[in-house]
Chain A
Amino acid sequence: MQSDIFQLRRRQAALFFGILAVLTYGAMLITEYSAIEGLVAIPEAAIWATRNFIPDGEAFERLPRILDKLFETVLMSVAAATLASAFGLAMAIMGANTTRLHPWLSLLARGIASVFRNIDVAAWALILLFSFGQSAYTGFFALFFVTFGFIVRVMIETIDEVSTESVEALRATGAGYLATISQSIIPACLPQLISWVLYMIETNIRSATLVGILTGTGIGFLFDLYFKSFNYSSASLVVLVIVVAVLLVESLSNLIRRAIL
């Protein structure tokens, strides 16, 4: 009977929204949250934000210093992404089924990459603070580790997907291991590799802000400094500058992607 299926769907939907309503109401009771007060506060908050967060003349006087720090942060993100990708590619070759030297070595490579990837960049920054203190190295290595873990993972998949067949062909010609990698895997995987490196540069610039707040370096430090000294207009200029920088880098990397793929 067809009508039964529709009736069942309707009953499932009603049940779902019912449970959702109960959960919401329960949470509001426990936290003593009043929906009306919350809604009323919105216009007030908007007025306060526009009054305090719009960059003023004083903030724009600080622009050279902000741009200087931004440049430093962008360069660090690029350095972390490119260096980590070089190491990541080598590790991915160890880990990929097509090119691994030994199954256990492959498992090890995948395991290491998984650890690096699954610890969040903020957690890495905090861990590394112990070893490097408040220096640029802390931020650099935090970004480096996360990029490394990510690149290993995506390149393992790319290698196995793109080059299994041509690797077999080169092995059949008697080509050596390193020649097979440089003549078959690298040319076959290069566009994807470049695309992922660009993606990681974008991601790193975004996370560098947070890492900077934690480690006291780069543009994140500047934001933290202005924000904590109630200099909201300068802090918001920092945010604006970061947004513009991310958009610029993103459009630039899209251009590069279109050119190589």
Chain B
Amino acid sequence: MALLEVEALTKRYGTETLALNDITFDIQPGEFVVIIGPSGAGKSTLLRCVNRLIDISSGDLRFDGLSVPSLRGRALRRHRTQIGMIFQHYNLVNRLSVMENVLHGRLGYKGLVQGILGLYTAEEKRDAVRIIESLGLSEQSYKRCDQLSGGQKQRVGIARALVQKPKMLLCDEPIASLDPNAAKIIMDTLREINRETGITVLVNLHQVDVALRYASRIIGIKQGTVVYDGHPDRLTSAQIHHIYGSEAGDLILDLSERYAV
């Protein structure tokens, strides 16, 4: 059974602007799907519809068999705990330590008082320590996040998502603010998580070459509609140019290297 089923999903802002138009696709458990497309195509909106940070205008979106558009209150919170999210700007509380930020991932499971006071069980803390260690951040555990580098901050973001014990990771431009070296570490980490724990990964990316290297499947979005959905090997240079609406040769792209690996 598909983990995520998107059916005729539409998102409208006001009456005029159509951000997402009749989007349909399924994602199977364990897939590594990359969404590519130009800025403003609706990639971020699509990701935020999955965990309902943005309300859906029409169409259906089922996660693990559960219909998402109508979720409210506690049910919506429970749905969100199943999905970890990683952001371009890391979205950490910079004045808090790595440990505290990672434990924020458990807040979705908390009742009112525990949540407000930030009370975590010993097991949750052990889990957090283990995840922080596996991402190579042990030495930074009690440092404040504003003392970390971009790549380290993003790993804290990943740890916060993993501590939720999610079925799926949504990554919104996870490497857009990172240097190439840190970007490679983050993408390798995501692939490793996908392969070793079987968590499904859905990533928005600007960089086509990175998408081709890591994705098990690519979805191309242009002006709110899906224009490509399939294996990265079948994505031709002409199709990429169609997605980005550019003239052939305008894109900084080297397709030859994908056959080298």
* A contacts, CB < 8 Å to B: 163, 165-166, 168-176, 178-180, 182-184, 187-188, 190-191
Is B155 at the interface (CB under 8 A from chain A)?
no
Is B245 at the interface (CB under 8 A from chain A)?
no
Q: Are A179 and B81 in contact (CB under 8 A)?
A: no
Q: Are B116 and A173 in contact (CB under 8 A)?
A: no
Q: Are A168 and B91 in contact (CB under 8 A)?
A: yes
Q: Which partner residue on chain B sits nearest A165 by CB separation?
A: B91
Q: How far is the CA of A187 from the CA of B92 in the complex (A)?
A: 11
Interface of A is mostly: helix
> What are 14 A-to-B residue pairs whose CB atoms are below 8 Å?
A165-B89, A166-B91, A168-B91, A172-B51, A172-B80, A172-B83, A174-B79, A174-B80, A174-B108, A174-B164, A176-B77, A180-B107, A182-B116, A182-B118
Residue from A169, A171, A172, A176 within 8 A of B115 (CB atoms):
A176
Q: Are A174 and B95 in contact (CB under 8 A)?
A: no
Given A169-B87, A174-B78, does the pair A183, B95 have CB atoms closer than 8 Å? no
Is B110 at the interface (CB under 8 A from chain A)?
yes
CB distance from A259 to the nearest CB of B (A): 14
Q: Are B77 and A174 in contact (CB under 8 A)?
A: yes
The 6 closest A-B CB pairs, nearest first, are A174-B108, A179-B115, A174-B80, A175-B107, A169-B91, A172-B85
Chain A hits for B116, CB < 8 A: 178-179, 182-183
Q: Are A183 and B104 in contact (CB under 8 A)?
A: yes
Q: How far is the CA of A251 from the CA of B76 in the complex (A)?
A: 50
Is B105 at the interface (CB under 8 A from chain A)?
yes
Chain B contact-residue range equals 35 or more
Inter-chain contact count A-B, CB under 8 Å?
Answer: 93
Q: Are B95 and A169 in contact (CB under 8 A)?
A: no
Q: Which partner residue on chain A sits nearest B96 by CB separation?
A: A187
Q: How far is the CA of A188 from the CA of B91 in the complex (A)?
A: 12
Q: Are B104 and A170 in contact (CB under 8 A)?
A: yes
CB distance from A60 to the nearest CB of B (A): 48
CB distance from B157 to the nearest CB of A (A): 8
9 new A-B contacts at CB < 8 Å, known A173-B104, A175-B77: A168-B53, A172-B80, A173-B81, A173-B107, A174-B77, A174-B80, A174-B164, A182-B118, A187-B93
Q: How far is the CA of A182 from the CA of B81 in the complex (A)?
A: 19
Q: Are A176 and B81 in contact (CB under 8 A)?
A: no
Given A171-B80, A183-B93, does the pair A178, B112 have CB atoms closer than 8 Å? yes
Q: Are B108 and A173 in contact (CB under 8 A)?
A: yes
Chain A hits for B85, CB < 8 A: 169, 172-173
Q: Which partner residue on chain A sits nearest B115 by CB separation?
A: A179
Q: How far is the CA of A184 from the CA of B164 in the complex (A)?
A: 17
Residue from B109, B117, B170 within 8 A of A174 (CB atoms):
B109
Given A178-B116, A179-B115, A183-B115, does the pair A173, B105 have CB atoms closer than 8 Å? yes
Q: Are A182 and B164 in contact (CB under 8 A)?
A: no
Q: Are B93 and A175 in contact (CB under 8 A)?
A: no
Q: How far is the CA of A172 from the CA of B81 in the complex (A)?
A: 8
CB distance from B145 to the nearest CB of A (A): 10
Chain B hits for A191, CB < 8 A: 95
CB distance from A191 to the nearest CB of B (A): 7
Q: Are A176 and B112 in contact (CB under 8 A)?
A: yes
Q: How far is the CA of A171 from the CA of B91 in the complex (A)?
A: 11
Chain B hits for A169, CB < 8 A: 85, 87, 91-92, 104, 157, 160
